[in-house]
Each structure stands twice: as C-alpha cells, then as structure tokens.
Structure 1
Amino acid sequence: MRNYDRIMVNETGNGRIVVGVDGSEPSKRALAWAIGQARLTGGSVAAVTSWHLPVAYGWVPPADIDWEGEAAKALTEAVQAVAGNEPSVPIETVVVEGNPAEVLVKASHGAQLLVVGNRGHGGFTGLLLGSVSQQCVHHAHCPVVVIHDEAAAHGAA
C-alpha cells in the first residue's frame, strides 16, 4: 500500500489510470475495466480506496477497530479477486482517509483516466445522496469512465 500523498508525484501523461475500489461488485467491474484499458494502452493502474470514521450524534466509534487497516484489507482482497497473483499491468494500491469523491477527484490530478463504478442510484435518490460517481464526473481533472451495474444496464430493478 502506498500513502496517498506519494501517488501525486507521478508525472502527467504517464498512462496512469485511477480507479475507485470499495469492494463492491460495481467497483470490481470498474477495476477489471481499468486493468483491461491499461493493458491496451501500456499504462498502469492506481486502485484507490478511502475510509473515514463514521459520524453519528452521541455515538463514539469503538477504539479497537483499525479503520485504515480494514479498508486496506478490503482493497487488497478486491484487487486479488480481480487481478489474481500476477496482474497483467502494474497495480498500485492506495488507501486514504477522507470522503471517497474528494479523494478520487484529488487522485485524478495527472491521471490519464478516472474509472468508478455506479451503484445505480438515480432520480431523486441520486440527487439526494450526491453519488461518488456524479461528483467525480463533475469535478475530476481528467476524463471519467463510469461502469454501470449489470442489473441496471439491463433494466432490472
């Protein structure tokens, strides 16, 4: 795992594809797509996940939970599940504390492409929640590819 601040030292135009990975199926599909694109273009993949302490009035998070460690474990497992033991392209894993959309937008500086999954929230729910993919599409510093959920793409509820 690399610290987020170090990912920013990469030079612009180096073929780096940033992909948001939270362990969900849509994010795994986004990772698979990013790996395929990197293979085609001779690029590399930066698989990025974020974490932050849950906030609720009157609730104190348990001190014995390693939030960063749990996020790193989920990222490692997702990369392993998609890419296997010997990935066909260089894959860097990055764990960052912060809001997922803000982390990915910041990581998009100097990237060739940002790839994110979409969980299919739309209409009023999408407006109300302000999805990560929406925020990335509107604020990223490079082109963004949104990989849609297979069920949503086929019109299933």
Structure 2
Amino acid sequence: MSPWEPPQFSPPIRGIVVGHDGSPAADDALRWAIEEARLRHCPLHVVRAWVLATAIRDTGVPYGTVPSMEECQRATERHLAEAVAAVDTTGVEVHQHVVHGPSAQALMAAAADADLLVVGERGGGGFAGLRLGSVAEQVSRHAPCTVVVVRAAGG
C-alpha cells in the first residue's frame, strides 16, 4: 500500500476563496461569498481543511475502529459537498477543495493568487466567548489578499 498523500492546490486559484469548517458561521460566510462571486462574475473556491483532531467522526467505519486517512478525507469531502448543495449557487462557478492540514495555513495557501478570502468570524472549535476565532484572526493578519470576516447572523 502506498503512503497517503494529502490533496494539494496545484493551479493558482483565482476569484474568491471561502473557508468552510461545517459551522453555522461558515454557512454564513459561504452564502456571503456566493453573492459576492455572483456580483463579481468570478469563480468561488470553497476550502475545507482538516487534521485528525478535527476529522469528521461519521466516516462509516464500524464503532471502535480508527478510520484511515482516506476515509477521513472522503467523509470530509461528503460533508463539504452537502454544505455547498444546501445553498443556491445558481450562476456561480463553484470548486470544492478538501485538504489535510491546519485551516489557516490551508486557506492562505489557497488564497495565494485569489482576489478575496472569506471566513466566518468564528468556527466550531475553541472558546465560545471569543468574538473572533483563531483562524479568522490568523488569516486577517497574514493572508496574501484582502480578507472579509463575515459576522454570524444574529451576532
């Protein structure tokens, strides 16, 4: 069996990159990014990064077993596809990317040639009392392009 190789970003990504971690804030960021891509007539790249600590738990493997990296990757791809399918993307060219690695670094790598990077104000992890999550803070400080942090609906 060959060693598992995580997917990488090969061609430069142009247009809008939006991070999605499965949280309600990420859904808000996705909807905002879709509307912006519609207005700009540009492609939208939805990026989901994962590491074992944040891997999807319902991978389909029997209870008590540890899923493989491939199973985690497929489960994460499925969850991202479901999130994208739940919103109206009419008129927008949407690309989905699931990568293994820390979220902030994956988003900044994806946005290296992008026009805009969009994230929710805070994801599903960390401390509930924080107004700005760690990924939003990292990308707003270090991203290679303009960053929009979408405030959560009702927030």
Q: TM-score, normalised by structure 2?
A: 0.77
Q: Distance in 1 between matches of 2:75 and 2:151?
A: 26
Is the CA contact (8 Å cut-off) linking 2:29 and 2:119 kept in structure 1? yes
What secondary structure sits across from 1:75 in the alignment? Answer: helix
TM-score scaled by length of structure 1: 0.76
Q: Distance in 1 between matches of 2:73 and 2:27?
A: 19
Q: Verify: 1:139 aligned to 2:142, yes or no.
A: yes
Paired position in structure 1 for 2:57:
none
Query: 2:52 is matched with which residue?
Result: 53
The structural deviation recorded for 1:63 is: 2.6
> Which of 83, 87, 91 does residue 88 from structure 2 map onto?
83
- Deviation per CA, 1:102-152: give whole Å up to 9, x if none: 11011110000000011389x9x649x961100110010000000111232
- CA shift for structure 1 position 71: 1.0
Q: Which runs of 5+ in 1 are unaligned?
A: 56-60, 153-157
Counterpart in 2 of 1:69?
A: 74
Partner of 1:23: 22
Show the 5 A alignment for 1:118-133.
118-119=121-122, 126=130, 131-133=134-136
Instruction: State the distance in 1 between where 2:108 and 2:20 align.
Output: 14
CA contact 1:104–1:136 (8 Å) conserved in 2: yes
Contact map agreement 1:22 1:74 (CA 8 A) in 2 = no
Structure 1 residues 130 and 119, CA gap change in structure 2 (3 angstroms): closer
Q: Which runs of 4+ in 1 moved over 2 A?
A: 3-6, 61-65
Structure 1 contact 52–67 (Cα < 8 Å) conserved: no
What are structure 2's unaligned runs of at least 5 residues? 1-6, 55-63
Of 145, 149, 152, the residue aligned with 1:149 is 152
Relative to its length, the structure with more helix (as a share) is 1
Q: Is the contact between residue 4 and residue 96 of structure 1 (CA under 8 Å) also seen in structure 2?
A: yes
* Offset of residue 22 of structure 1: 1.4
Q: Which moved more, 1:139-148 or 1:111-120?
A: 111-120
Partners of 1:149 and 1:130 in 2: how far apart? 12
AA aligned opposite 1:35? I
- Give the CA RMSD over aligned residues: 2.8
Match among 8, 12, 20 for residue 4 of structure 1: 8
Structure 1 residues 62 and 100, CA gap change in structure 2 (3 angstroms):
farther
Corresponding residue SS for 1:64: coil
Aligned length: 136
